[in-house]
């Protein structure tokens, strides 16, 4: 089975400018995901999709391929990443004449993952009868208990409600936070559909200390602290 990993890294982050190449633990942030993907023996290629020549240069230094520069229209703040996925797959089709059998996305903003998290996602996908495997972690809030939305009159109510009153979070349906640790997807599904939940989705659970998605300076600082706890030098 031909498995290709992609790392999608825009150069124009607004929440934390330059985050994808910001030094973390002695190397650029994106290097963590490149090294994670390269460590998986089942993955035959590791490709970075970016609109930034600077990111491309660093990615190559850490062993990734950068066979194209992503067009700006797929790298804007409001550009769905799904379209970047499709663009990368279309490029590979033109380059090799066929789609890979499996696509893995290893986002650069989740450097605390371990290789086993990617392996677990691949194992779940290989069970079959699935279009996309996502990663999840325990939710800190629950829409049936302590998440609210605003009504037209300015009052608030629970996001979701159930018939009987709930007084303990433990009595609510179990929910999870989607996280960006890893995605495993059928490439043909990406080409022919517009979102993961148009198809069959399964989830792999990741502990919260490996599931942080860096979007802000605070996220970055928390990640640095957790790396220190692991024993990495910052």
* pLDDT tens digits, 80-110: 899 999 999 999 999 888 899 999 999 999 9
Cα separation, 53 vs 31, whole angstroms = 15
What are the angstrom distances between the C-alpha of 34 and each of 37, 59, 60, 190, 209? 5, 8, 10, 22, 20
pLDDT value at 233 more than 70: no
Buried b (16+ CB within 10 A) or exposed e, 204-215: bebeeebbbbbe
pLDDT of residue 168: 66
pLDDT value at 134 more than 80: yes
What pLDDT band is residue 169 in, cutting at 50, 70 and 90? Answer: low
Residue that wins the pLDDT comparison between 187 and 96: 187
pLDDT (average), residues 34-60: 96
pTM, full prediction: 0.89
pLDDT value at 13 more than 70: yes
* pLDDT tens digits, 62-84: 999 999 999 888 887 778 899 99
pLDDT of residue 70: 92
Contact between residue 16 and residue 94 where contact means Cβ atoms under 8 Å apart: no
What pLDDT band is residue 210 in, cutting at 50, 70 and 90? Answer: very high
> Among all chains, which residue has been given the structure tokens 């089709």?
93
Among the listed residues 171, 116, 180, the one whose alpha carbon sits nearest the alpha carbon of residue 142 = 171
What pLDDT band is residue 234 in, cutting at 50, 70 and 90? Answer: very low
What pLDDT band is residue 165 in, cutting at 50, 70 and 90? Answer: low
pLDDT value at 157 more than 70: yes
Mean confidence (pLDDT) of the chain? 91
Instruction: Tell me the domains of the chain and their CATH numbers.
Output: 3-137+175-230 (3.90.550.10), 140-174 (no CATH)
Tokens representing 181 are 């640790």
pLDDT of residue 232: 62
pLDDT value at 12 more than 50: yes
What are the angstrom distances between the C-alpha of 124 and each of 27, 176, 180, 182? 31, 18, 16, 12
């Amino acid at each position: 089975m031909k498995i290709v990993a992609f790392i999608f890294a825009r150069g124009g982050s607004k929440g934390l400018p330059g985050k994808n190449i910001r030094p973390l633990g002695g190397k650029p942030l994106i290097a963590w995901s490149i090294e994670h993907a390269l460590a998986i023996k089942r993955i035959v290629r590791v490709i970075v999709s970016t609109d930034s020549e600077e990111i491309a240069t660093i990615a190559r230094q850490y062993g990734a391929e950068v066979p194209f520069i992503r067009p700006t229209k797929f790298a804007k703040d409001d550009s769905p990443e799904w379209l970047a996925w499709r663009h990368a797959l279309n490029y590979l089709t033109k380059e090799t004449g066929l789609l890979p059998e499996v696509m893995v996305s290893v986002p650069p903003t989740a450097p605390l993952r371990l290789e086993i998290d990617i392996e677990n996602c691949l194992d779940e996908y290989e069970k079959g009868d699935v279009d996309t495997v996502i990663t999840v972690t325990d939710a800190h809030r629950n829409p049936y208990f302590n998440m609210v939305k605003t009504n037209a009159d300015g009052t608030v109510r629970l996001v979701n409600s159930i018939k009987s009153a709930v007084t303990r979070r433990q009595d609510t349906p179990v929910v999870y936070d989607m996280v960006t640790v890893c995605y495993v997807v059928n490439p043909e599904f990406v080409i022919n559909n517009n979102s993961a939940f148009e198809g069959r989705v399964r989830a792999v659970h990741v502990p919260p200390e490996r599931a942080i998605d860096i979007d802000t300076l605070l996220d970055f600082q928390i990640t640095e602290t957790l790396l220190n706890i692991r024993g990495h030098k910052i």
